[in-house]
Structure 1
Amino acid sequence: MAQDSSHAVRGPHRVVVIVDDNSNPFELGCAIEIFGLPRPELGRDLYGFRLCSPEPRTVMRDGFFTLTGVAGLDAADEADTLIVPNRPDVEVPRHPAVLDAVRRAHARGARLVGFCSGAFTLAEAGVLDGRRAAAHWRWADEFRARFPAVRLEPDVLFVDDGDILTSAGSAAALDLGLHVVRRDHGAEIANAVSRRLVFAAHRDGGQRQFVERPVPDTPDESLAPVLAWAQERLDEPLTVADLAARAAVSPATLHRRFQAQLGTTPLAWLTGERLALACRLIERGESRFAMVARRSGLGTAANLRALMRRETGLTPLAYRRRFGP
């Protein structure tokens, strides 16, 4: 997950969402919920937020309702982060004025975000050529056929390619939105936003879009007890074998259940939880990185540094300067 320091929040970071004809209400709602609502529990608003449209009246998906009273498309030219339209009719070309607005935003260095079929908008604008992107699995073949220059990753929740971020369908918009908040404001703030959403605080973008068995066949196959047990012991030298023993299954069976229920491996989940804890410790004021590494179960400051650079693009020191108290 590349970190682009040019998008650090300086004052009211302006998020603008373009709404076009037949746009999906769900992803629009996700953007409003994450970026548009006031945050009195945090004592400050995280973003400035606006909706805009190329037309005074925008008929939303399947005519569910008509959107009026939003800004004109020129508001997109003021965006620090521009969220582009997504809609179910991916075969219909996007509004030319919308594509021009996307190109202008990209040219001046704004961050671009596409939820679900928003990847089609970005690709039509020509800003995804040679870049990594995610899209809903349902449209993966059509996307590849129309945009062969884009490096589509069809089986992940979202892709962070620096100044362009894309997600798969529906709920993955929440995952990507929280990832953006985490990237801008740190893990502690992102956790607070996710708690208000009553949504998982962190699903890594590399997780699969869908799992083989969303609900376990029997209650005792649920991973919830072993996950809760491990989260209380992250500072201990836990291994995958320890998790398997706690779940009373073999390591191979545990691996299959993680893949089926979470779309990831036990080791990747454990490392991600430890890194998230390390970030929270730094944000809360722990300045001794060797202590952060020990308390989060990452072992050494060198290991902490390597993982933080890989996952956040920042060293522990740079992370503390940006997100610390």
Structure 2
Amino acid sequence: MGIYVLSREIDTKDFEVFYKRFCEYKEFLDSARPTAVNLSWALRRMEKVAVKAGREEGKSVAAVKEILRLEAQNIREEDIRVCRRIGENGLALVKPGDGILTHCNAGQLATIKYGTATAPIYLGQERGYGFRVYADETRPLLQGARLTAYELHSAGVDVTLLCDNMSASVMAKGLVNAVFVGCDRVAANGDTANKIGTSVVAAVAKHYGVPLYVCAPTSTIDLETPTGAQIRIEERPGEEVTQMWYREPMAPEGIKVYNPAFDVTDHDLIEGIVTEYGVARAPYTESLQKMKQDALSATSGGGNE
């Protein structure tokens, strides 16, 4: 929707002039989140319909803008359906009364409705499953505390907020039966990039025998990236760690700070990758290829994704 809103500001009747400015806006938005592949996917999709309408079909710039609006709406509606299907597939992996741990925010505030990692939780809530959810606060920006805990609590879910370094404690006590996390990119071998700290949770879950599931649409699968080692990791200002949430800085002045926004979880730590077309399992080089093919076939056949 962002690229559509920006396109409305382009004041010209010449499509090529419009398209040049459109591409500048597209590159600007794409640069905001280099680790994530889904943003690039949606922007490319919007560009494709603009080029088809304006250059190939000769439609007016006004008509192209309306087509962009409709495509943004299509993406929105598809996202709702995809997230619900991810939720159904994830719900089949747990049972009523289970304890579920999640990290960062992959919920309604990050998508349109249901979220990805939270979709099984919301569907379980609708059906009276009585899940006990543990939400990591997710330092340093506290997306788990400010977003996930907020939205789940508002929905009436039994949610408990944890500091990031407490996940081992709840797993050791047997309070967690499964971990659901989202991701920003899935490499061809099943490595996934998600919010910083996810790989720590995955390693701890593996140690305690708790299955970790990554929930993501097939549009997040990037078969052109062989492994997680090739995923570009965004780094953010050190002030987010030393002073953002404090009345005064909590670290020595001038201290060096390493603040990556994401980390890569090795595919060996992942029990399954939950998509709208089912659950991909090892060997991921085969199962992810099939998932992408299923998505392509559905699109070619007039399906949603």
Q: TM-score band, normalised by the shorter chain?
A: 0.3 to 0.5
Per the normalisation by structure 2, the TM-score is 0.34
Per the normalisation by structure 1, the TM-score is 0.32
